[in-house]
Amino acid sequence: MGGWPSCFGLRGEETEQVWRKRGRDSDTKPPKKPSKSRRKRIQFAENEEDDEALKMSTTGTLKPSSSELDLDRPNIEDYLPSGSSIQQEPDGKLRLRDLLDISPTLTEAAGAIVDDSFTRCFKSNSPEPWNWNIYLFPLWCFGVVFRYFILFPLRVIVLTLGWIIFLSSYIPVHFLLKGHEKLRRKLERLLVELICSFFVASWTGVVKYHGPRPSMRPNQVFVANHTSMIDFIILEQMTAFSVIMQKHAGWVGLLQSTILESVGCIWFNRTESKDREIVARKLREHVQGADNPLLIFPEGTCVNNHYTVMFKKGAFELGCSVCPIAIKYNKIFVDAFWNSRKQSFTKHLLQLMTSWAVVCDVWYLEPQNLKPGETPIEFAERVRDIISARAGLKKVPWDGYLKHSRPSPKHRERKQQSFADSVLRRLEEK
Ligand SMILES: O=P(O)(O)OC[C@H](O)CO
């Protein structure tokens, strides 16, 4: 994401001086001077050396983040080849620094590339290669053969068996117990828990649950950090939650609109504002009347289990207790992050099924309530703090929905034009 020019190592004041000097020498305009109150906030962020705090201060909607983000912030000079960067060179020569500083557009673009804590939230983590020596390589080859030709077929058999048992029980229960709603729902939920257990077994899930299991109390909602749709499977095998999630296409969509919907799960399309209203209404109804607990992934998107992005406030303005659940995957055998832009859910499952095991910890944490004077956004941030701390995740202030947004071509062209103009102007000056 774009940042203030300080991402090039210049603090606010220095940057302004450079621009003022340049303004005298040429007709290049400095960036618009911030208002007094904004300067104060910028100064605060600089004093704290917290770039993220600065970004948030400009929107006025988010609280300053912890200083741990600083550790995560790269230094531009580390990314430039030695001798090519911010070095003094004889006057009159075209220097890289001039080009880098030539326009806010370039500064902004480089800031977006280098200091992009947003993109890092959605990067898959490729495993560290460990097999490239004469002793380990044969072992690794053996492992590949074992995983793909022995474990995988066994797991397919387990999953197929699971589906046979599930469907041969679910269909009669669903159609024959029509007049006995309570019993039917209970049995259906048990069967959903059962099929989820088969899924977990099909990746040799090694899941350690900590804390008291969720109870069926009214007026409570469970919220968890989100890494993959397998989060839902892992939680569902223990408790038959009703979940609120994005509607999918294909076989996942079919399961959503048939089996899962019948156990109270709610699906929506995040791009449809009409859907959002319906979900908000269903949420309120569910919290007041339903007999099974409600689960929400308030990030609204899968994050790579190193970070947490902004929690949507919907779950925090229902006036009920919020029970946080923290999920942390151990990447020792496989990265459980579902990068939906790169692979389908089927491919993701196949990847898990061909790995040694999926190892993870789940913590059921103490229920939280809105404090007097606290806004739903502050409440959401407090719960995010609790989950992030428990699972060892870094908080970043981004809205995860932006993952699915692309800048419009017009916006891109305007940026390209402004960049080209400023480079040409600078070259003409030399
Ligand atoms: O990572 P996303 O945004 O594609 O979301 C995937 C699932 O719908 C989240 O449950």
In the prediction, which pLDDT does 416 show?
81
Beta bridge partners of 329: 360
Reply yes or no on whether the pLDDT at 248 is more than 50. yes
- The rounded Å distance from CA 101 to ligand 1 centre is 38
CB 321 within 8 A of CB 211: no
Tell whether the model's pLDDT for residue 75 goes beyond 80: no
Q: Would you place residue 115 in the very low, low, confident or very high pLDDT band (cuts 50, 70, 90)?
A: low
Is residue 9 in a domain? Answer: no
Q: Which two tokens stand for residue 50?
A: 């917290």
Residue 106: its pLDDT value, please?
Answer: 62
* Residues 48 and 125 sit within 8 Å (Cβ to Cβ): no
> Which of 122, 225, 226 has most ligand 1 atoms within 8 Å of its beta carbon, as the pocket-test mutant?
226
Integer angstrom CA distances of residue 156 from 152, 273, 300: 6, 39, 30
Which residue minimizes the CA distance to atom 3 of ligand 1?
301
Checking if the pLDDT of 313 tops 70, the result is yes
Query: Quick one: pLDDT at residue 91?
Result: 57
The pLDDT, as a whole number, for residue 29 is: 42
Q: Is residue 178 part of a domain?
A: no
pLDDT at 57: 37
**Per-residue confidence (pLDDT) for residue 86, from 0 to 100:** 42
Quick check: 219 pLDDT over 80? yes
CB of 365 closer than 6 angstroms to any ligand 1 atom: no
Residue 72 included in any domain: no
Answer whether residue 67 shows pLDDT above 70.
no
Ligand 1 in contact with 229 (CB < 6 A)?
yes
Specify if 159 maps to a domain. no
The pLDDT assigned to 101 comes to 60
In a domain, 220, yes or no: yes
pLDDT reported for residue 161: 97
Predicted confidence (pLDDT) at residue 68 exceeds the cutoff of 50: no
**What is the model's pLDDT at position 94?**
60
The residue contributing the CA closest to ligand 1 atom 5 is 301
Return the best residue to mutate from 241, 256, 301 for the ligand 1 pocket (most ligand atoms within 8 A of CB).
301
Beta-carbon count within 10 A of 224 CB: 27
Instruction: Classify residue 303 by burial, with Cβ atoms within 10 Å: 0-12, 13-18, 19+.
Output: buried
The answer to whether position 311 is within a domain reads yes
Other Cβ atoms closer than 10 A to 318: 22
Contact 91, 102 (CB under 8 A): no
pLDDT in tens, 315-326: 999 889 999 999
Q: What is the pLDDT of residues 123-169, one digit of tens each?
A: 887 777 888 888 899 999 999 999 999 999 999 999 999 999 999 99
- Count of domains observed in the chain: 1
Mean pLDDT over 112-116 rounds to 59
- On the question of pLDDT at 196 being above 80, the answer is yes
Q: Give tens-digit pLDDT for 277-298.
A: 888 888 888 877 767 889 999 9
Atom of ligand 1 nearest to the CA of 338: 1
380 pocket-lining for ligand 1 (C-beta < 6 Å): no
CA atoms within 13 A on the CB side of 393: 30
End-to-end Cα spacing for the chain: 31
Does 241 map to a domain?
yes
Residue 30: is its pLDDT beyond 50? no
Cβ within 8 Å of residue 261, ≥6 positions away: 267
Distance from C-alpha of 270 to C-alpha of 257, rounded to nearest angstrom: 16
Which comes out higher in pLDDT, residue 414 or 74?
Answer: 414
Tens digits of per-residue pLDDT, 332-369?
A: 899 999 999 899 999 999 999 999 999 999 999 999 99
Average pLDDT value for residue range 228-242: 94
Q: Tell whether ligand 1 has an atom less than 6 A from the beta carbon of residue 304.
A: no
Compute the mean pLDDT over every residue in the chain, rounded to the nearest whole number.
Answer: 78
pLDDT tier, 194 (very low <50, low <70, confident <90, very high otherwise): very high
Euclidean distance between CA atoms 158 and 142, whole angstroms? 23
Query: Whole domain around residue 386: which residue ranges?
Result: 203-401
pLDDT bucket at 229, cuts 50 / 70 / 90:
very high
pLDDT-derived band at 105, boundaries 50, 70, 90: low
- Taking the centre of ligand 1 as the mean of its atom positions, its distance from the CA of residue 244, in whole angstroms, is 12
Residue 36 structure tokens:
């007094």
**Rounded distance between C-alpha atoms, residue 257 and residue 247, angstroms:** 9
Q: How confident is the model at residue 72 (pLDDT cuts 50, 70, 90)?
A: very low
pTM listed for this prediction: 0.70
| Residue at 101 is within a domain | no
**Region 358-381 average pLDDT:** 96
Whether 60 has a pLDDT exceeding 50, the answer reads no
Q: Comparing 36-45, 100-109, 269-278, which segment has the lowest mean pLDDT?
A: 36-45
